[in-house]
Amino acid sequence: MIENRKYVIQFIFLFIGLIFLIKLFYIQVLDPSYKLAAENNVVRKEVEYPFRGLMYDRNNQVIVYNEPVYDLMVIPKEIRGIDTTAFCADFSITKEEFEEKIQKAKTYSYIRESPFIKQLSNAEFAKVQDLLVDYPGFYITTRTIRAYPYPMMSNAFGYIGEISRSQLEKDTLNYYKTGDYIGRSGLESQYENQLRGRRGVQYKMVNVRGVEKGSFEEGNYDTLSIPGDNLITSIDAQLQLYGEKLMKGKSGSIVAIEPSSGEILAMVSGPTYDPSLLSGRDLGKNYQVLSQDTLRPLFNRPLMAVYPPGSIWKTVQALIGMQEGVIVPSTRIRCDRSIIKCHGPHFNDNLAEAIQHSCNPYFYEVMRRIVDQNVSADPYEDPKIGLKKWREYVESFGFGKPLGIDLPNEKGGYIPGVPYYDRVYGARGWKYRTIYSLSIGQGEILAGPLQMANLGAIIANEGYYYTPHLVKSIGKDGKPLPKYHQKNFTKIQSQYFSPVKDAMESVTEWGGTGFRAGIKGIPVCGKTGTVQNPHGKDHSVFLAFAPKDNPKIAISVYVENSGWGSEAGAAIAGLMIEKYLRGADAQLRYEDFVLEEQYIR
Partner 1 sequence: MRKEGINSSKVDWVTVGLFALLALAGWLNVYASVYDEEVYQSLFDFSTRAGKQLMWIGTSGILIILIMVMDFRFFDSFSYGIYGGVVLLLILVLIFGQEVAGTRAWFALGPVKLQPSEFGKFATSLAVAKFLSDPGVKLKDFRNQATVAFIIGLPALLVLLQGDAGSTTVYVAMILVLYREGLNPTIIIIGVIVLTFLILTLIFDQLHLTIGILGVAGLIIYRMRKSWKKIFVVITSAFLLIGEVYGIDFLMKDVFRPHQRNRIQLLVNPNVDPLGVGWNVTQSKIAIGSGGFFGKGFLNGTQTKFNFVPEQDTDFIFCTIGEEHGWIGSFFLVGLFMALFLRIIHLAERQKSRFGRVYGYCVACILFYHFLVNIGMTIGLIPVMGIPLPFFSYGGSSLWSFTIFLFILVKLDAHRMQVLERI
Residues that bind partner 1 (CB under 8 A): 2, 5-6, 8-10, 12-14, 16-17, 19-21, 23-25, 27-29, 31, 33-35, 37-39, 41-42, 205-209, 213
**Shortest distance, CB of residue 43 to partner 1, whole angstroms?**
9
For partner 1, the closer CB: 10 or 532: 10
Q: Of 538, 449, 456, 461, nearest to 504 (Cα)?
A: 456
For partner 1, the closer CB: 33 or 94: 33
Helix (H) / strand (E) element for 119: namely strand 114-120
How far from 238 is each of 4, 208, 266, 489, 576, CA to CA, in Å? 104, 55, 9, 31, 10
For partner 1, the closer CB: 12 or 47: 12
Helix 497-507 with 314-324: angle, nearest 10 deg: 150
Helix (H) / strand (E) element for 70: namely strand 62-74
How far from 209 is each of 47, 112, 204, CA to CA, in Å? 19, 8, 13
* Phi (first) and psi of residue 245, to 5 degrees: -65, -45
DSSP labels for 109-133? -SSS-EEEEEEE-HHHHHHHHTGGG
Residues 227 and 51: beta-carbon distance below 8 Å:
yes
**Shortest distance, CB of residue 136 to partner 1, whole angstroms?**
19
CA–CA dist 159, 178 (Å, integer): 18
For partner 1, the closer CB: 11 or 347: 11
Q: Of 560, 601, 501, nearest to 310 (Cα)?
A: 560
For partner 1, the closer CB: 9 or 173: 9
For partner 1, the closer CB: 35 or 285: 35
**Shortest distance, CB of residue 26 to partner 1, whole angstroms?**
9
403 CB burial (10 A radius; 0-12, 13-18, 19+) = buried
For partner 1, the closer CB: 6 or 165: 6
Sign, Cα dihedral of 391, 392, 396, 401? positive
For partner 1, the closer CB: 40 or 193: 40
Helix 418-425 with 382-396: angle, nearest 10 deg: 130
CA–CA dist 409, 420 (Å, integer): 24
**Shortest distance, CB of residue 213 to partner 1, whole angstroms?**
6
**Shortest distance, CB of residue 24 to partner 1, whole angstroms?**
5
For partner 1, the closer CB: 44 or 346: 44
3-state DSSP assignment of residue 194: helix
Q: 43-48 and 200-206: which strand pairing?
A: antiparallel
239 contacts: CB under 8 Å, gap ≥ 6? 256, 265, 266, 576, 579, 580
For partner 1, the closer CB: 13 or 347: 13
**Shortest distance, CB of residue 31 to partner 1, whole angstroms?**
6
**Shortest distance, CB of residue 81 to partner 1, whole angstroms?**
23
**Shortest distance, CB of residue 61 to partner 1, whole angstroms?**
50
CA–CA dist 357, 367 (Å, integer): 17
**Shortest distance, CB of residue 105 to partner 1, whole angstroms?**
18
Count of positions (residues) in the chain: 601
Strand partners, 136: none
Strand partners, 138: 74
**Shortest distance, CB of residue 156 to partner 1, whole angstroms?**
48
CA–CA dist 384, 468 (Å, integer): 32
Residues 376 and 382: beta-carbon distance below 8 Å:
yes
DSSP labels for 423-434? HHH-TTS--HHH
Residues 77 and 137: beta-carbon distance below 8 Å:
yes
**Shortest distance, CB of residue 22 to partner 1, whole angstroms?**
10
For partner 1, the closer CB: 217 or 592: 217
3-state DSSP assignment of residue 435: helix
**Shortest distance, CB of residue 217 to partner 1, whole angstroms?**
11
3-state DSSP assignment of residue 142: strand
**Shortest distance, CB of residue 153 to partner 1, whole angstroms?**
49
For partner 1, the closer CB: 29 or 173: 29
Helices (H) and strands (E) in the chain, counts: 22, 20
What distance separates the 2 farthest-apart alpha carbons in the chain? 138
For partner 1, the closer CB: 39 or 48: 39
For partner 1, the closer CB: 17 or 149: 17
**Shortest distance, CB of residue 35 to partner 1, whole angstroms?**
5
